A = this chain, B = another copy of it.
Amino acid sequence: MPSLKVTAQDVARAAGVSQPTVSRVFTPGNKVSKGMEEKVRAAADALGYRPNTLARSLITGQSMTIGLIVAYLDNPFYTEALERLSLTLKERGYNIMIFMAANQAADVDHVVNDLLSHQVDGIIMASVSTSSALTERLLDEGVPLILFNRGHANAQLSSVTSANFDGGHRVAEFLLAGGHGRIAHISGWQGASTGLDRAEGFMAGLKAAGQKPLAMVDGLFSRKAAAEAARTLFAQDTTPDAIFVGNDHMAFAVLEVLRGELGLSVPGDVSVVGYDDVAMAAWPSFELTTVRQPANRMVEAVVNQLIDQIEGRANGPKQIEINGPLILRSSAHVPEGWS
């Protein structure tokens, strides 16, 4: 049983060497003679020594810790991303400290202080409303920062998103090609770039064909709001024959309203298309046609860019867009000959 705290000093004494020598053995990239190394490792193993990351960070100025700010985890897209993020960062030697931000402006200051006093080397913001206050503040502090799945007007900010405008555009083309004439959009929250860009791309796609949407409602990325929106749409005189929903999470709620409450057939009466392609979209209960956001590639891009910025290897901030395919399932009518 190892004593409670074994320090490099203890190991040094036991091995008959100096503390710096112990440090060199445990710091990659340092030259130590074969004999010394063996002695030190033997002593270290015997005592159960483990370098103290805190002390190491204090002197190197690198905590090897990334702060992850996240507002909610209901949407499984973020859960999947979190999982990959953690694994990918660990591969690169970084750990994740997680911060839930209640999305209240009031919390912002508290979270920022928390993050920075923990000396995180970089910050990833996911699913958090782009509070200018927060981002500006962090930029001022000079901590590498990157938005995940959120864009931002400020070109100083790095971000990784899917090609939301293009995705929305393609959905419009797809639905038009499917012969739909009364197309509605239950959008993602229009206060977030993600929701906004998808909606604008979608509108542009319709416009390019000389069409207009039957209706546009903000679903606020909320199941409840989206369900309510669906009910409202079908309480009108003219009802949609297709709905593009701003993300899968809301689309599931919409499907349930259409089939369960309104007794409609999907895609017989209405086609539904989502956005994200979370794992559940493939479940037999939903079989949702949706635009895939490739979480793994997005995570890869976030990690690369962030670490480049941390290690000074980046040429300034970058806005990265990752394109994903439209995944065809049975919730929407597929046009003849559509590839």
Contacts and interface: CB of A to CB of B under 8 A. Distances in A.
A96 B86 CA distance: 13
A83 interface: yes
Copies of this chain present in the complex amount to: 2
A86 B72 CA distance: 11
A312 interface: no
Interface stretch (A45-53, A265-273, A301-309): A45-53
Given A90-B100, A97-B95, A140-B1, A117 B260 contact: no
A114 B95 contact: yes
A50 B116 contact: yes
Contacts of A54: 54, 57-58, 63, 118-119
B279 A256 contact: no
A83 B79 contact: no
Contacts of A98: 86, 95-98
A263 to B, nearest CB: 12
Interface residues of A, number: 52
B76 A100 contact: no
A284 B256 CA distance: 6
A253 B279 CA distance: 13
Contacts of A76: 76, 79
A252 interface: yes
Contacts of A257: 284
A87 to B, nearest CB: 6
A117 B74 contact: no
A142 interface: yes
Contact of A58 (B55, B100, B117, B279): B55
A65 interface: yes
Nearest to A118: B53
A232 interface: no
A339 interface: no
A237 interface: no
A51 B58 CA distance: 13
A4 interface: yes
A89 to B, nearest CB: 10
Contacts of A242: none
A105 B181 CA distance: 57
- The 10 A-B pairs at the shortest CB distance, nearest first, are namely A256-B284, A260-B284, A53-B117, A86-B100, A50-B117, A73-B79, A285-B285, A53-B118, A54-B58, A96-B98
